[in-house]
Amino acid sequence: MSMPVLSPLFLILLFSLTFPPTKSTAVQRNHPVRLTFGKDGEFKILQVADMHYANGKDTPCEDVLPQQISSCSDLNTTAFLRRMILAEKPDFIVFTGDNIFGFDTADAAKSLNAAFAPAIASNIPWAAVLGNHDQQSTLSRKGVMKHIIGLKNTLSKVNPSEVKTIDGFGNYNLEVGGVKGSDFENKSVLNLYFLDSGDYSTVPRIVGYSWIKPSQQFWFQLTSAKLKRAYMEKPFPQKTAAPGLTFFHIPLPEFSNFDASNYTGVRQEEISSPPVNSGFFTAMVEAGDVKAVFTGHDHLNDFCGLFTGINLCYGGGFGYHAYGKAGWSRRARVVVANLERTAKGNWGSVKSIRTWKRLDDKHLTRIDSQVLWNKSSLGGDL
């Protein structure tokens, strides 16, 4: 399906009218916010992969149909993000890297502000990690992450405070508490991990993309173990760890372990993983809590496949200045966790995790719904 052709005037009007002015109840800059499940027992995440934002209306689109070229720019990316937020009403938005395309970006700070503007205006908490292109403009990799954490509504962090040394920028975790007023309101029932998968190898004679380093894996293992202990302690001790979701940009080598018979979605290009398998997938398997990994980087891949107990998922190309495929709609992934009811009828721990994608067409067509994890199929406790 092809994207809708939107005129520049329509886009400008859409931007000004879609969201109301910021209210005093919004998440304020650098104000700590605790993510929690809603009263309906649901927590919804919108994943946005590879916006490749540059200079707004002056930036042309890549790989669109001939009739779309004259009216297409970064503003189409912004319009798509606004439409997704309005349609899905997520509780949390995650940007999984290449948020801007540094090579074509005149002012990194200005482009970052514009790229994240719909999330900021929506008053929905959001977080971001870096890709391999974010730092290729007027800010260093650290500078990009420092700028991001200063923006309103973000829960992003430069790096965890509990470790002195760690590779990269944008390694952190967030906890999602149970429903307020329930027995689980003070427990993290869903754990979110964010890591910097780097940009390019700096090791002589190893050419290609970077990889998740031992220092990052050590931090992940410590954090996962700490969260598991807390979840299994009183009050209301649980027998197993709370489920976890992991977000970073560059896919792991394990993404290559699929064929068309064992994934949902499409694989239209080679897996652009690092030349080094640093063992992070094994670390996640050993930790035992991660149920799904969400990446970007390869814009023409949007599949999810289960490998050794962990779902490996692409977001699919979102941005219009990113390479794509003419006639193949830009897309976004939605992830939803639902809680179970306890024997007393209250909201308890996570029961299931589902996902689907939406296309940037006239109807925001929903495709490829699937269950990523179901507690009942694995036993578990109330």
Residue 1 lies in a domain: no
Residue 3 lies in a domain: no
Instruction: State mean pLDDT over 160-177.
Output: 96
What are the angstrom distances between the C-alpha of 114 and each of 133, 201, 242, 272, 343? 16, 29, 35, 28, 47
What are the angstrom distances between the C-alpha of 118 and each of 6, 58, 80, 111, 227? 17, 19, 10, 13, 32
Instruction: State mean pLDDT over 259-274.
Output: 95
- Position 32 scores a pLDDT of 62
Please list, in sequence order, all residues whose beta carbon lies within 8 angstroms of the beta carbon of residue 170, skipping any fewer than 6 positions away: 128, 129, 130, 145, 148, 156, 157, 158, 159, 194, 195, 196
- Position 346 scores a pLDDT of 92
The answer to whether 71 touches 5, Cβ cutoff 8 Å, is: yes
Residues 203, 206, 210, 216, CA torsion sign: negative
Residue 232 lies in a domain: yes
pLDDT tens by residue, 85-128: 999 999 999 999 999 998 999 999 999 999 999 999 999 999 99
The pLDDT of residue 61 is above 70: yes
Residue 170 lies in a domain: yes
Q: Identify the band that residue 33 occupies on the pLDDT scale cut at 50, 70 and 90.
A: confident
Residue 2 lies in a domain: no
Residue 364 lies in a domain: yes
Instruction: State mean pLDDT over 234-238.
Output: 91
pLDDT tens by residue, 313-346: 999 999 999 999 999 999 999 999 999 999 888 9
d(CA 224, CA 212) in angstroms, rounded, equals 16
Instruction: State mean pLDDT over 141-151.
Output: 97
For residue 185, what is the domain's CATH number?
Answer: 3.60.21.10
d(CA 112, CA 101) in angstroms, rounded, equals 10
The pLDDT of residue 305 is above 80: yes
The pLDDT of residue 174 is above 60: yes
Instruction: State mean pLDDT over 179-197.
Output: 97
Please list, in sequence order, all residues whose beta carbon lies within 8 angstroms of the beta carbon of residue 336, skipping any fewer than 6 positions away: 42, 43, 44, 45, 353, 354, 355
pLDDT tens by residue, 1-19: 444 445 444 444 444 444 4
Spell 41-66 as b/e; 16+ CB within 10 A means b.
bebbbbbbbbbbbbbeeebbbbbbee
How many Cα atoms occupy the beta-carbon half-sphere of 59 within 13 Å? 27
Which percentage of the chain shows pLDDT scores above 90? Answer: 86
Residue 23 lies in a domain: yes
Provide the whole-model pTM: 0.91
- Position 343 scores a pLDDT of 86
Q: Quote the mean pLDDT of the chain.
A: 92
d(CA 140, CA 138) in angstroms, rounded, equals 7
Residue 317 lies in a domain: yes
The pLDDT of residue 35 is above 80: yes
- What number of other Cβ atoms are within 10 A of residue 30's Cβ? 10
Residue 206's domain spans which residues?
A: 8-378
- Position 378 scores a pLDDT of 56
Which percentage of the chain shows pLDDT scores above 70? Answer: 90
Nearest to 182, CA basis, from 339, 42, 341, 347: 347
The answer to whether 312 touches 267, Cβ cutoff 8 Å, is: no
Asked, as a colleague might, if the bond just before 235 is cis with ω within 30 of 0, I would say yes
- Position 28 scores a pLDDT of 42
How many structural domains does the chain have? 1
- Position 198 scores a pLDDT of 97
- Position 379 scores a pLDDT of 39
d(CA 248, CA 293) in angstroms, rounded, equals 8
